[in-house]
């Protein structure tokens, strides 16, 4: 190993990456990126979706190799050919999409990431004591597939800490946590920092970056566009640096005059369809014309099941437990519900709301062949597709939502996440649905597209439709909802108006606190605050 | 009593190739790869084993050659599925079709020739025990290899770190890749092991079961082995039980044919196939259980981003 | 050296057309190597395999006789595989279609009029469809793996046919040889130009089926449903399509076409039911389907090519003494190369050497 000494912007740099370039095909994911992380600091890496954050940290962790550029570790030039090498020199990582194995136990999951030197002896016992020590309780014998998202993250963190890393990379760690769980995480991070470790903290949440980070590097379109001390900045100045332009705030003017109830769930229940699915229990909700209802919740608490139940991807035997436009519809399929005037947008774009290998016109047909049969098809039962009509509809939608694409009718896979989501949203809005149910409308979407989509949702409601938005993004929930409810373990809390809802109240409900009733049974530290909480 | 023991021995002989081939495929599937080419690798092992034994006069060399050729032949599948990311179902099928064709061509000149049988391993004293002596201590060598494999595969999968790594890839290859585990390399090895097992199972057919070469003599045993893996919910000990159950069915129908009960021989011959279907139906019916047991990335292509 | 794949943002239209040709070319090269290894002249071997059968009129007729069933079966398999249902038991459905339809001339030899043949064709489709309905039911209702069940049913069908022609349906005047009575003219598919060769109307039936299914897959809602469910069952549910309905639909459609091929072969080419009525058409058709890129029109071309290998195998055997079994080796290799080349449609392939990086496409 070379023994040169770093002469960068300070001798205390633990990690220093200079001139990093990484190209995928024609996309420059990282273009001459410089990053320096000092000893004992929490360093934020800020940027929008697709700015190149994940690519950069994958190279620091050895999962990807840079095309050019150099990495220095404690002053020495190093190459990091694999995650094993990264862990060996003291770099640990906590992934956003956890790199866990559902069918294996917590102890086995931990063993798999430990290299020979750490993997000896009783891993389970060490994991247990370390997790207690850091206030991250874990049972090494449980099967990971049965754990909640927060618990899974603890497995990732404990697994990382067991190797005693000097630098810990955390990729969007709070996107799956309740605000209270996030607070606990920040306590842990402060302690780690106090132990002299450095933390590279990736996020697009500006408040928390301002709160815990010492320095920030901002990426945009693969390039570093600035460094700053986030404590000296405002959230909006950070946002402007991240996005490049200032993003328009959502207009919610106009009184939300409540009309009749268009969507009603009356104690609807649905059993779990598979071992790791969530059962929905007595879900009740009524949504009026003109309002946006936001359903908050931590991932994996029944959001996708709720979407399936309302959309009719899964039907119920009790037809009356769901009503749309006043008509019972719980046992009719998704197309019959669309014909009643409802539209649906699921969470996953690729392979659920759109088929990547198919063209946009075919994707147009995907959700609308039933509701727009008269326009899109001819010859009755033969069902001959009319390519001219679907193409016109595709053009109309693309213009209305400003979908950027190459050619008139490219494959869905060639669109960026934001543009594809705009197309999908536009496909449904084009029908002027009376009821719209959306799961995670802006997940993985750039800020410009997200703003446009949120505005469209608000506008749809203002024009007299009932809109349900299921989202894990609390900022989004607060930005567009008239009323807010929380899904936890397959149950829905009583909705509260946006003005009575606070981040704290919603966060507690997300953690499972049951207002006005007993304490939640979970041993989670985050939940203990529930006791002090004033109810209604 | 002797007749009873003889029946048991024939059952063991019928079960052994199924057991070995299924254990090999079990390891392959535990790593997340579905190789439908078992039949093809098996028949390649069968013809090579026979040809080498006959031309060298040494059945042990035949056994070894069958095993090696099975492993080599499997690498054709591995290359396509792992390095070129082709569809696993179609590629496995083509391995079977190619194996059946190639073996027919290689074996053409051996049709009708008497083969050489692997000598039985007789443990002195013990093999003369009443009832179970011959069954347990006087069998062909591959019988013992098969039993040893049951234990070794179990021990490897559930008691070693390498086995844990292999299972982790079958559960989630993306996670494994993110941790730096060499997904493709381990899968190549797993497929080679599966191929070696299938080759050995095939060699058993021509060196022990019926020491001669007949075209397509595997007669669907490779497919039955695949079904056994599902039946066993990817657990080695259950493969043992399943293989002996199928051995019993196929020997039972042979005895029934010999007795001449007036049942059409074709109906009796189709019993192993019908039993396979029945067993698949019974075991798959419980979707929940199937979902829990099936390696989650089974059959999904893996292309690492670079 | 190793291979690196990176996903294309858009499927390559060029490779969609070119990949079957590249696969064929590679098969020719590999075939030449095999011939050389067998000590035969490679050029001569390839000539007899792929060109000689095309030089004579009677053998062109034979080509359509062999291609007919391959195309019919493959067209059905296109629908199956497109919808991600793995029917590999077409051989069994072929047999059962032939059996059910043969019941008419065998059990009611007196029933001979203009309705006989159409009825037999319908019975053939029904037999194949019902037999394919078994693995479909087992998959949709009991979640049983259709690959294994459909294949097991091939063995069962073969044994059943064997039992019939050696037992209850054996021609009493057949000198104890297995086989049914020969079909009367009214139960025989006529030859197209009897003076020239053996080509019968079954081939035209196959072409017609290919065109209809091609139109159906590309232009109708049901065809769209097939493709959607095949690409993503989840998106299929979102579109309101039923996956289990598709299991039945695709299996029974392909079973019906395989059954039609079966009766067309028995009634058009053989003229009676025998203990073996197929040289593995049901399995070869899998190769045809993939070589035709799961497109029914492609299946016509691929069916003719695979039929050519059957004839070429015979020619090469007679002229050069090359084993007839080389045919199946050729067919197997062809499928391998087709699958490998199809990767080029979805991925960019790079060969990464130890030193330099070379971009191929």
Rounded Cα gap, residues C265 and C259, in angstroms: 10
Of A351, A362, A370, the CB nearest to C232: A351
C152–chain B Cβ distance below 8 A for any pair: yes
C113–chain A Cβ distance below 8 A for any pair: no
What pLDDT does A119 receive?
56
Rounded Cα gap, residues C208 and C175, in angstroms: 40
* pLDDT tens string C153-163: 999 999 999 99
CB contact under 8 A, B179 and A112: yes
Rounded Cα gap, residues A53 and A265, in angstroms: 41
pLDDT at B181 over 60: yes
pLDDT at A9 over 70: no
| pLDDT classification of B241: cutoffs 50, 70, 90 | very high
Tokens of A139: 């049972």
Under a CB-based contact definition with an 8 Å cutoff, are residues A77 and A2 in contact? yes
Under a CB-based contact definition with an 8 Å cutoff, are residues C338 and B81 in contact? no
What pLDDT does B1 receive?
55
* pLDDT tens string A222-232: 999 989 998 88
CA distances from A117 to A91, A268, B165 (A): 15, 53, 16
A67–chain C Cβ distance below 8 A for any pair: no
Of C10, C221, C231, the CB nearest to A355: C231
B179–chain A Cβ distance below 8 A for any pair: yes
Strands (E), C290-356: 347-352
C357–chain A Cβ distance below 8 A for any pair: no
Tokens of A252: 């919610």
Tokens of A292: 């946006």
Q: What would you measure as the largest C-alpha separation in chain A, in angstroms?
A: 77
| Chain C residue with Cα closest to A384 | C220
pLDDT at A277 over 80: yes
| Chain B residue with Cα closest to A145 | B292
What pLDDT does A530 receive?
36
Q: Give every residue of chain C whose pLDDT is below 50, as ranges.
A: 355-361
* pLDDT tens string A461-472: 999 999 999 999
β-pair partners for C200? C191
Nearest to B113 by CA among B244, B212, B222: B212
* pLDDT tens string A41-61: 999 999 887 788 889 999 999
Arithmetic mean of pLDDT, A519-526: 41
| pLDDT classification of A163: cutoffs 50, 70, 90 | confident
| pLDDT classification of A215: cutoffs 50, 70, 90 | very high
pLDDT at A520 over 60: no
Arithmetic mean of pLDDT, A197-221: 90
* pLDDT tens string A170-180: 988 888 788 88
Sign of CA dihedral A203, A209, A214, A220: positive
| Chain C residue with Cα closest to A365 | C239
A335–chain C Cβ distance below 8 A for any pair: yes
Q: What backbone torsions phi and psi does residue A355 show, to the nearest 5 degrees?
A: -110, 115
Q: Please tell me which chains touch C, using 3 or more CB pairs under 8 Å as the contact test.
A: A, B
**Cα A467 to the center of its chain, rounded Å:** 20
What pLDDT does A516 receive?
45
| pLDDT classification of A517: cutoffs 50, 70, 90 | very low
Under a CB-based contact definition with an 8 Å cutoff, are residues A157 and A94 in contact? yes
C222–chain A Cβ distance below 8 A for any pair: yes
Distance from CA of A466 to the nearest CA of C (A): 20
pLDDT at A531 over 90: no
**Structure ipTM:** 0.90
3-state SS, residue C182: coil
* pLDDT tens string B108-167: 889 889 889 998 887 777 777 776 777 777 788 999 999 999 999 999 999 999 999 999
Of C228, C232, C238, the CB nearest to A313: C238
CB contact under 8 A, A84 and B180: yes
Q: Apex CA A481: angle with CA A478 and CA A487, to 5°?
A: 80
CB contact under 8 A, A351 and C227: no
C239–chain A Cβ distance below 8 A for any pair: yes
* pLDDT tens string A420-466: 999 999 999 999 999 999 999 998 888 888 999 999 999 999 999 99
Rounded Cα gap, residues B165 and B187, in angstroms: 11
First to last CA, chain B: 65
CB contact under 8 A, A64 and B291: no
A416 class by beta-carbon count within 10 Å (0-12 exposed, 13-18 middle, 19+ buried): middle
CB contact under 8 A, B97 and C283: yes
Under a CB-based contact definition with an 8 Å cutoff, are residues A280 and A309 in contact? yes
Of C6, C219, C232, the CB nearest to A384: C219
Q: Please tell me which chains touch A, using 3 or more CB pairs under 8 Å as the contact test.
A: B, C
């Amino acid at each position: 190993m070379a023994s040169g000494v770093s002469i960068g912007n300070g001798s205390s740099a633990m990690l220093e990456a200079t001139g990093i370039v990484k190209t995928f095909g024609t996309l420059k994911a990282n273009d001459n990126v410089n990053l320096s992380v000092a000893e004992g600091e929490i360093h934020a890496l800020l940027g929008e979706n697709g700015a190149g954050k994940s690519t950069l940290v994958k190279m620091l962790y050895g999962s990807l190799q840079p095309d050019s550029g150099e990495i220095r570790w404690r002053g020495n030039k190093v190459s990091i050919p694999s995650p094993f090498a990264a862990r060996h020199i003291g770099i640990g990582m906590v992934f956003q999409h956890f790199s866990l194995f559902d069918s294996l136990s917590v102890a086995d999951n931990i063993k798999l990431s430990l290299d020979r030197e750490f993997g000896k002896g009783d891993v389970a016992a060490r994991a247990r004591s370390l997790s207690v020590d850091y206030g991250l309780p874990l049972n090494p014998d449980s099967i990971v597939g049965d754990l909640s998202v927060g618990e899974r993250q603890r497995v990732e963190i404990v697994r990382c800490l067991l190797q005693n890393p000097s630098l810990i990379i955390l990729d969007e760690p709070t996107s799956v946590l309740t605000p209270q769980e996030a607070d606990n995480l920040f306590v842990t991070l402060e302690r780690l920092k106090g132990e002299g470790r450095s933390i590279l903290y990736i996020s697009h949440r500006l408040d928390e970056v301002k709160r815990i980070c010492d320095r920030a590097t901002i990426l945009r379109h693969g390039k570093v566009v600035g460094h700053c001390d986030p404590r000296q900045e405002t959230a909006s100045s950070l946002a402007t640096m991240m996005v490049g332009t200032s993003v328009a705030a959502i207009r919610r003017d106009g009184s939300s005059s409540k009309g009749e109830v268009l969507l009603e769930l009356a104690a609807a229940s649905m059993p779990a369809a598979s071992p790791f699915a969530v059962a929905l229990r007595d879900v009740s909700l009524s949504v009026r014309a003109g309002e946006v209802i936001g359903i908050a919740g931590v991932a994996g608490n029944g959001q996708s099941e709720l979407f399936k139940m309302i959309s009719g991807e899964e039907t119920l035997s009790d037809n009356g437990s769901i009503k749309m436009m006043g008509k019972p519809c719980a046992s009719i399929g998704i197309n019959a519900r669309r014909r009643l005037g409802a539209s649906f947008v699921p969470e996953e774009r690729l392979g659920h709301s759109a088929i990547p290998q198919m063209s946009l016109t075919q994707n147009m047909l995907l959700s609308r062949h039933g509701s727009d049969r008269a326009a899109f098809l001819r010859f009755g039962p033969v069902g001959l597709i009319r390519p001219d009509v679907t193409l016109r509809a595709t053009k109309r939608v693309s213009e209305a939502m400003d979908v950027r694409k190459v050619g008139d009718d490219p494959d869905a896979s060639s669109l960026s996440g934001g543009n594809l989501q705009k197309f999908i949203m536009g496909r449904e809005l084009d029908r002027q649905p009376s009821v719209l149910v959306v799961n995670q409308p802006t997940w993985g979407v750039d800020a410009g597209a997200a703003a446009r989509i949120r505005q469209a949702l608000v506008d749809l409601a203002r024009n007299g439709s009932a809109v349900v938005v299921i989202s894990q993004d609390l900022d989004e929930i607060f930005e567009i909802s008239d009323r807010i409810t929380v899904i936890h373990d397959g149950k829905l809390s009583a909705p509260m108006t946006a003005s009575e809802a606070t981040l704290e109240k919603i966060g507690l409900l997300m953690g499972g606190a049951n207002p006005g009733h007993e304490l939640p049974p979970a041993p989670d530290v985050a939940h203990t605050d529930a006791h002090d909480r004033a109810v209604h | 009593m002797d007749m009873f023991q003889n029946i048991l021995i024939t059952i063991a002989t019928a079960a052994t190739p199924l057991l070995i081939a299924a254990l090999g495929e079990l390891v392959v599937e535990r790593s997340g790869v579905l190789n439908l080419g078992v039949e093809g690798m098996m028949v390649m092992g069968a013809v090579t084993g026979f040809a080498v034994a006959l031309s060298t006069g040494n059945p042990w060399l035949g056994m070894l050659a069958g095993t090696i050729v099975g492993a080599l032949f499997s690498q054709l599948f591995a290359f396509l599925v792992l390095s070129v990311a082709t569809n696993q179902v179609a590629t496995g099928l083509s391995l079977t079709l190619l194996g059946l064709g190639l073996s027919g061509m290689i074996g053409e000149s051996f049709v009708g020739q008497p083969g050489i049988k692997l000598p039985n391993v007789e443990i002195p004293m013990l093999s003369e025990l009443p009832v179970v002596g011959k069954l347990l201590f006087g069998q062909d060598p591959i019988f013992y290899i098969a039993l040893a494999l049951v234990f070794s595969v179990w021990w490897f999968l559930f008691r070693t770190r390498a086995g844990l790594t292999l299972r982790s890839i079958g559960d989630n290859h993306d996670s494994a890749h993110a941790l730096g585990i060499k997904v493709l390399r381990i899968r190549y090895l797993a497929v080679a092991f599966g191929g070696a097992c299938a080759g050995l199972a095939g060699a058993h057919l021509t060196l022990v079961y019926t020491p001669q070469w007949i075209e397509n003599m595997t007669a669907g045993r490779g497919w039955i082995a695949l079904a056994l893996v599902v039946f066993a919910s990817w657990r080695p000990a259950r493969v043992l039980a399943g293989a002996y159950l199928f051995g019993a069915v196929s020997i039972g129908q042979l005895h029934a044919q010999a007795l001449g009960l007036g049942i059409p021989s074709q109906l009796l011959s189709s019993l192993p196939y019908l039993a396979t279907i029945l067993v698949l139906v019974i075991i798959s019916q419980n979707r929940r259980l199937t979902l829990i047991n099936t390696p989650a990335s089974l059959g999904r292509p893996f292309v690492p981003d670079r | 050296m190793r291979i690196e794949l990176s996903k294309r943002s858009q499927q390559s239209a060029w490779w969609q057309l070119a990949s079957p040709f590249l696969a064929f070319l590679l098969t020719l090269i590999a075939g030449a190597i095999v011939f050389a290894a067998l000590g035969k002249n490679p050029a001569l071997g390839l000539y007899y395999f792929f060109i000689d059968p095309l030089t004579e009129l009677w053998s062109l007729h034979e080509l359509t006789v062999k291609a007919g069933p391959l195309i019919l079966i493959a067209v059905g398999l296109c629908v199956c595989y497109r919808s991600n249902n793995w029917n590999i038991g077409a051989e069994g459905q072929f047999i059962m279609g032939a059996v059910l339809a043969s019941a008419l001339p065998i059990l009611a030899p007196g029933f001979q009029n203009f309705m006989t043949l159409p009825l037999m064709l319908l019975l053939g489709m029904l037999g194949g469809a019902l037999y394919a309905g078994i693995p479909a039911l087992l998959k949709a209702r009991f979640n049983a793996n259709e690959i294994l069940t459909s294949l097991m049913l091939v063995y069962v069908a073969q044994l059943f046919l064997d039992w019939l022609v050696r037992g209850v349906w054996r021609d009493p005047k057949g000198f104890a040889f297995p086989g049914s009575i020969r079909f009367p003219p009214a139960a025989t598919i006529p030859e197209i130009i009897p003076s020239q060769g053996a080509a019968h109307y079954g081939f035209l039936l196959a072409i017609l089926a290919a065109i209809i299914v091609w139109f159906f897959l590309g232009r109708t809602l049901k065809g769209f449903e097939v493709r959607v469910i095949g690409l993503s069952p989840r998106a299929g549910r979102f579109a309101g399509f039923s996956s289990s309905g598709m299991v039945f639909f695709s299996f029974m459609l392909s079973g019906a076409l395989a059954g039609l091929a079966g009766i067309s072969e028995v009634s058009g080419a053989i003229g009676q039911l025998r203990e073996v009525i197929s040289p593995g058409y049901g399995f070869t058709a899998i190769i045809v389907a993939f070589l035709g890129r799961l497109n029914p029109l492609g299946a016509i071309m691929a069916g003719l090519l695979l039929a050519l290998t059957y004839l070429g195998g015979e020619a090469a055997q007679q002229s050069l003494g090359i084993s007839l079994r080389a045919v199946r080796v050729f067919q197997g290799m062809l499928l391998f190369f087709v699958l490998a080349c199809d990767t080029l449609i979805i991925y960019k392939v790079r060969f990464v050497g130890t030193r330099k990086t070379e971009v191929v496409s």
